[in-house]
Amino acid sequence: MWFTITHVYHEQKNDYNLPTDSLHINSGGIAKNTFDAIVVGSGISGGWAAKELCEHGLKTLVLERGRDVQHLKDYPTATKAPWEFKYRGSVTEKTLEENPLISKAAGYDDTTQHFFIKDADHPYIQEKPFDWIRGYQVGGKSLIWGRACPRWSKYEFINPAKFGYGIEWPISYEDIAPWYSHVERFAGICGNKDGLETMPDGEYLPPFDFNCPEKDMRQKLLGRYKDRFMIQGRWAQLTEAKDIHLQQGRGRCQARDLCMRGCPFGGYFSSNSSTLPWAARTGNLTVRPFSVVHSIIYDEQKGKAVGVRIVDAQTKKTTDYFARIIFMNASALNTNLVLLNSTSNRFPHGFGNDNGLLGKYVCFQNYRGSIGGDVEGYEDKYFYGRRTVECMMANFRNVHKNDMDFVGGYMAFMGCYRTRGNGDVLDVQIGADYKNAMSEAGPWGMYMYIQGETVAREENHVALSGNQKDQWGIPLLKMNVGYDDNDERMLKDFITQGSEMFETCGVKNIRTGDNHWAPGRDIHEMGGCRMGKDPKTSLLNGWNQFHNCKNVFVTDGACMTSTGSGSPSILYMAFTARAANYAVEEMKKGNL
């Protein structure tokens, strides 16, 4: 077993002066439930918090509401062939009927459904349509994420305030750049150094190469546009295993494109294959699965948080754990839920919520637009393996000035692919003729889809239900988050510009679409507990600390001030590593 789970504690002096009879302790008293640090959540950012804190010698408790999942051991479908699944990977109609929400998630099928929740177990309230995609287990959604890892540019930090559609970020790109490098080296990100100001270079492993038509498309775009760069994807895939990755027990990506089953090679970054086992090696890590966090405990006399209250997911017994610092990494909306439920005399409206903004300015990224078409030629060309990486196009809108009829920017994912057979539904679906048709390579196609910045608006919010609770007695979360006219104008521009770029590339039979997805399907929900310089308009400072409670940090998506156009997960990792190291230094100084 590579890390300690459940009911394993260390002795440490209790200095919280809390009366024992007021506490919900069922595992042996305050001393056995006391740690240096508590991390709520074991996903992408929680794993990084655990790694950094444990490396610095802090006895760290990670609380995870779901079951335990250990690398290799708990990937039951990782090496199965299609014919080993009763329905060749498809889920049954009964499963779809019972799970109309989670079954919409990208990558959800019979080979991966064990890493996603079941709808009936985790209800929530949709005041506006919102598809909340969740995976509750040790590792969280780091087992099923998309793995795109471009850096934000300096413009994504400064433009919301500069162009008047957001507040000022309390940090700059220059502040976070060294921490991007820190997490990129350890996690292993492939990509090319392209010298783009709108998507800065990082510490990259060799990229997955373009296929033949992609190389030509890139050159055609460069021949017409000065600001539109089709680049090799920057992805959390080990195209080359460096010594630091071998030390983690990870190996090179095998281009199987079965990532969401859990990779037995450790070819992509997850908490399970990387940060959590690394933290466990220090001897400082305790992971407690089946721990549904109820609230943060605030000590009125000390003027700080002293612990976390959990409800055991199986027994429904309540237990309190104590620590000097607390990191909230439950994923954006669950972090908001816990904070809203953390009430006290000092914070009657939710933890740190003096300004009434907790749960507000929730935002997401716009994935609604897509473009496809046919690519002629290249009949004698193919590609090797099942590439897990897509090409990227950095944002080219509203960079130096806001010159469009919308604010914010968008990037795009794109690429060329080759079909089997004739590219359409084959005339035969069984037998030798079907096998022969499938063995023939069909025509090429090209696709592109948007990842657009959305505006953080106060009316986009989440709140607690006043009368409905889950099976653990915790109020349900109410979603009131939607699109606005700015999103529609941005989408229209993407469709227009993308179609023009496809024409430039010589793509035929161009098809465009708006999938009309509800927010949430992007799985990039952000905000609700945003960073900022002014405590009147934000909840966290530039170190991800609450303005009014310095020993609680929020470093998952809830901390985001704006959404940017770049994928945010690598930024959460960088925020977390930066904040954890700052917290350690502040503890050494006696400030926490």
Secondary structure class of 269 (helix, strand, coil) = coil
Q: How far is CA 37 from each of CA 40, 56, 505, 506, 562, rounded to the nearest angstrom? A: 10, 11, 54, 57, 28
Does residue 17 belong to any structural domain of this protein? Answer: yes
Q: How far is CA 559 from each of CA 18, 301, 455, 476, rounded to the nearest angstrom? A: 30, 27, 15, 21
pLDDT at 270: 98
Whether pLDDT at 512 is above 50: yes
- Which residues contact residue 374 at a Cβ distance below 8 angstroms, ignoring those fewer than 6 apart? 443, 444, 445, 446, 507, 508, 509
Read out DSSP for 188-219? TEE-----BTTB---SEEPPPPP-HHHHHHHH
Does residue 540 belong to any structural domain of this protein? Answer: yes
Whether pLDDT at 14 is above 80: no
What tokens does 481 get? Answer: 């988050």
Task: State what percent of residues in the chain have pLDDT above 90.
Answer: 89
Read out DSSP for 409-451? -EEEEEEEEEEETTSS--S--SHHHHHHHHTSEEEEEEEEEEE
Give the number of other Cβ atoms within 10 Å of residue 100's Cβ.
Answer: 10
Whether pLDDT at 136 is above 90: yes
pLDDT at 390: 97
Whether pLDDT at 11 is above 60: no
pLDDT at 3: 46
Tell me what the mean pLDDT of segment 269-292 comes to: 98
Among residues 235, 232, 260, which one has the least CA distance to residue 149?
A: 235
| 7 pLDDT tier (thresholds 50, 70, 90) | very low
Tell me which DSSP letter residue 273 carries.
I
Does residue 531 belong to any structural domain of this protein? Answer: yes
| 187 pLDDT tier (thresholds 50, 70, 90) | very high
| Rounded Cα–Cα distance for residues 472 and 388 (Å) | 39
| 288 pLDDT tier (thresholds 50, 70, 90) | very high
Read out DSSP for 104-146? GSTT-STTTGGGS--GGGS--EESS--------BTTGGGGT--
Q: How far is CA 430 from each of CA 82, 423, 433, 435, 442, rounded to the nearest angstrom? A: 16, 17, 7, 8, 18
Does residue 589 belong to any structural domain of this protein? Answer: no
What order do you get walking across the sheet with 291-299 strand by strand? 291-299, 304-312, 318-322
| Rounded Cα–Cα distance for residues 587 and 236 (Å) | 32
| Rounded Cα–Cα distance for residues 364 and 457 (Å) | 11
Q: How far is CA 80 from each of CA 72, 77, 88, rounded to the nearest angstrom? A: 13, 5, 10
- Directed axis angle between helix 173-187 and helix 154-162, to 10°? 150
Residue of 214 and 7 predicted with greater confidence: 214
Residues 60-75: tens digit of each pLDDT: 999 999 999 999 999 9
| Rounded Cα–Cα distance for residues 481 and 464 (Å) | 14
Contact 573, 153 (CB under 8 A): no
| Rounded Cα–Cα distance for residues 519 and 452 (Å) | 12
pLDDT at 224: 97
End-to-end alpha carbon distance in the chain: 33
**Domain that residue 313 falls in:** 1-74+99-149+257-362+458-474+525-565
| Rounded Cα–Cα distance for residues 291 and 378 (Å) | 54
Does residue 189 belong to any structural domain of this protein? Answer: no
| Rounded Cα–Cα distance for residues 266 and 248 (Å) | 9
Whether pLDDT at 17 is above 60: no
Q: How many domains are contained in the chain?
A: 1
Does residue 405 belong to any structural domain of this protein? Answer: no
Does residue 578 belong to any structural domain of this protein? Answer: no
pLDDT at 38: 98
What tokens does 554 get? Answer: 């929020």
| Rounded Cα–Cα distance for residues 573 and 2 (Å) | 22
Tell me what the mean pLDDT of segment 394-410 comes to: 98
Residues 144-185: tens digit of each pLDDT: 999 999 999 999 999 999 999 999 999 999 999 999 999 999
- Which residues contact residue 46 at a Cβ distance below 8 angstroms, ignoring those fewer than 6 apart? 39, 40, 62, 64, 140, 271, 327, 329, 330, 556, 576
> Judging by DSSP bridges, how do beta strands 204-205 and 189-190 pair with one another?
parallel
What tokens does 371 get? Answer: 């473009």
pLDDT at 309: 98
Does residue 112 belong to any structural domain of this protein? Answer: yes
Contact 114, 132 (CB under 8 A): no
Strand partners of residue 5: 287
| Rounded Cα–Cα distance for residues 219 and 225 (Å) | 10
Residue 462's CATH number: 3.50.50.60
Residues 329-340: tens digit of each pLDDT: 999 999 999 999
